[in-house]
Amino acid sequence: MARSTLYQQVASELRRAIYSGDLGPGDQLPTEADLMTSYGVSRNTVRLALGELVNEGLISRTPRRGSIVRDRRPLLMYPQRELTPQPASVPREAFGFAVSQEGREPSQVIEVSIVEPPEDIAIRLELPDGGLAVVRRRLRFVDGQPYNTNDSFFPHALVRDSEIVRPGDILRGANRVLEELGHPQVRVVDDISARMPTPAESSRLELEPGTPVVEYVRVGYDSDDVPVRVAVSVLPADKHLIRYELERR
Amino acid sequence: MARSTLYQQVASELRRAIYSGDLGPGDQLPTEADLMTSYGVSRNTVRLALGELVNEGLISRTPRRGSIVRDRRPLLMYPQRELTPQPASVPREAFGFAVSQEGREPSQVIEVSIVEPPEDIAIRLELPDGGLAVVRRRLRFVDGQPYNTNDSFFPHALVRDSEIVRPGDILRGANRVLEELGHPQVRVVDDISARMPTPAESSRLELEPGTPVVEYVRVGYDSDDVPVRVAVSVLPADKHLIRYELERR
């Protein structure tokens, strides 16, 4: 689909150095001249690579100080990748996979319960009146810092006999379990909006005052177009960037 | 792709009544029983239809008062639709088309200038050092209210002899002009994040205090994978909902 050009390779190596901590917040990157020498590329290639990192919020560039690693390192999310079947050799759920790909350490706390869900969720799941859902509420950490929350709702009738209803992590991911139950998600609808956090969210996610959150709701449908999962993510705006790649049909 | 079910048709008619003003802010919708009778559908269909409108932020439902049209009516944006070639009978640019589809009145103020763009834009456009861009800065209105801004940057070398460089509206849209120049956008990358507005944005968009904005940046590439347009939209969070529909490949 996309070309993986020289500059993207250079960007990728620098990104890894930042995420691995070899380059920490406030550190200076090598100069353009040094990068040209060490990678054997042109100045333009170096600039394009650094530009990528600026756009991702990883570094800032000033004429005097050069390129500096920023304190705030937003997590780049690719909602489309969750739809691509992962190789069987990578039995991880999507968040853990994306974070560890960046050389960072994911962890999460999960609470599982059976609930009569809020009306907007019940509607999205097309539940009958009084219908039950299993909700897996996750607080996710990156390198030990609270990062975002993800509450995934499933129709109870569908998942009652599966791992989804049991407490604890599902290493291969709940989407894989849905597949095994004969309900792979073949279509999703993603709704993205932003708002100020609730006081509970501020405290749970340790937000700085004045930090908005992105609310990202994904409804997944199986091949009969029946909704099988509603996932509500609350993403602190200073720590997340969502990216979609689309091709003209 | 998606089924257009009975409930979606009911939702669509109610949506139109709201957008047309037949049902204004604070107005009560007919009861579930009345809607069942007038559309000849089941209670479940009515509930699903009303649920759609709740999810879109158009109405709120309370047990006592029934369904009420909300004051705040977020504009539902489908970034994918801009990639679908529009019928030739609809010579409108994407924003105007989407708004008028909803029965609302779009308008905009455009300023066109030739600039040395900010570094992040220059990088996304892969411009050489000191390279120029044409920027079309738009302040967009819905029903006379300022709604959002969209600044579109194009490589000057590419569009210098086209309508894009001239002031004023392009009825068929700049994307159509890029096509005519032999550079249709066949792939786009969308970056979505949120933040608090700058003071200039607050005043220009007449924002209520404490309203975050969604920053939505689309880079469009032609069939040689050359970036031909960078569009930066600033969307007040209380007035916009972005929706993507994805299918598993």
Are residues A23 and A133 both part of a single domain? no
Are residues A98 and A135 both part of a single domain? yes
Share of chain B above pLDDT 70, in %: 93
CA-atom Rg of chain B in angstroms:
20
Is the CB of residue B159 less than 8 Å from the CB of residue B134?
yes
Per the domain annotation, does B169 fall within a domain?
Answer: yes
**Tokens linked to A185:** 């998600």
Q: Is the pLDDT of residue B220 over 80?
A: yes
CA distance B207 to chain A (A): 13
Yes or no, beta carbons of A51 and B120 under 8 Å apart:
yes
Q: Which residues of A touch B225 (CB under 8 A)?
A: 2-3
Structural domain boundaries enclosing A54: 6-69
Helix (H, G, I), strand (E, B) or coil at B65: coil
Per the domain annotation, does A1 fall within a domain?
Answer: no
Residue A195 CB contacts under 8 Å (≥ 6 apart), including other chains: A212, A213, A215, B212, B237, B238
Is the CB of residue A174 less than 8 Å from the CB of residue A136?
yes
Is the CB of residue B135 less than 8 Å from the CB of residue B151?
yes
Q: What CATH number is attached to the domain comprising B177? A: 3.40.1410.10
Residue A28: φ, ψ to 5°: -90, 140
Are residues A216 and A119 both part of a single domain? yes
Are residues A97 and A61 both part of a single domain? no
Are residues B63 and B86 both part of a single domain? no
* Interface contacts A/B by beta carbons within 8 Å: 148
**Tokens linked to A181:** 């139950």
Q: How far apart are the C-alpha atoms of B228 and B223, rounded to whole Å?
A: 10
Q: Which residues of A touch B213 (CB under 8 A)?
A: 194
Residue that is last in its domain, among A16, A35, A69: A69
Per the domain annotation, does B1 fall within a domain?
Answer: no
Q: Which residues of A touch B212 (CB under 8 A)?
A: 194-196, 212, 237
Are residues B40 and B145 both part of a single domain? no
Q: Is the pLDDT of residue A115 over 70?
A: yes
Taking residues A154-164, report their average pLDDT. 96
Which residue is it, tokens 């411009």? B127
Per the domain annotation, does A207 fall within a domain?
Answer: yes
Per the domain annotation, does A136 fall within a domain?
Answer: yes
Are residues B211 and B108 both part of a single domain? yes
Residue that is last in its domain, among A17, A38, A69: A69
pLDDT in tens, B101-125: 777 889 999 999 999 998 889 989 9
* For A125, nearest residue in chain B (alpha carbons): B48
Are residues B136 and B18 both part of a single domain? no
Is the CB of residue B140 less than 8 Å from the CB of residue B234?
no
In this prediction the ipTM stands at 0.76
Question: pLDDT value at position B188?
Answer: 95
Per the domain annotation, does A203 fall within a domain?
Answer: yes
pLDDT in tens, A54-87: 877 778 887 777 898 887 667 888 888 777 766 6
Residue A95 CB contacts under 8 Å (≥ 6 apart), including other chains: A106, A108, A140, A150
Taking residues B48-54, report their average pLDDT. 86
Helix (H, G, I), strand (E, B) or coil at B222: coil
Q: Is the pLDDT of residue A88 over 70?
A: no
Which residue is it, tokens 């600033």? B234
Are residues A156 and A209 both part of a single domain? yes
Query: How many domains does one find in chain B?
Result: 2
Per the domain annotation, does A238 fall within a domain?
Answer: yes
pLDDT in tens, B184-214: 999 999 999 999 888 889 999 998 878 899 9
Question: pLDDT value at position B72?
Answer: 61
Yes or no, beta carbons of B237 and A186 under 8 Å apart:
no
Q: What CATH number is attached to the domain comprising A56? A: 1.10.10.10
Yes or no, beta carbons of B243 and A190 under 8 Å apart:
yes
Residue that is last in its domain, among A53, A69, A85: A69
Yes or no, beta carbons of B214 and A196 under 8 Å apart:
no
Are residues B46 and B11 both part of a single domain? yes
Distances (CA, A) of A243 to B151, B191, B216: 19, 5, 10
Yes or no, beta carbons of A237 and B194 under 8 Å apart:
yes
Question: pLDDT value at position B63?
Answer: 73
Per the domain annotation, does B36 fall within a domain?
Answer: yes
Are residues A121 and A183 both part of a single domain? yes
Are residues A52 and A85 both part of a single domain? no
Yes or no, beta carbons of A188 and B246 under 8 Å apart:
yes
Q: For strands B66-69 and B59-62, give the pairing.
A: antiparallel
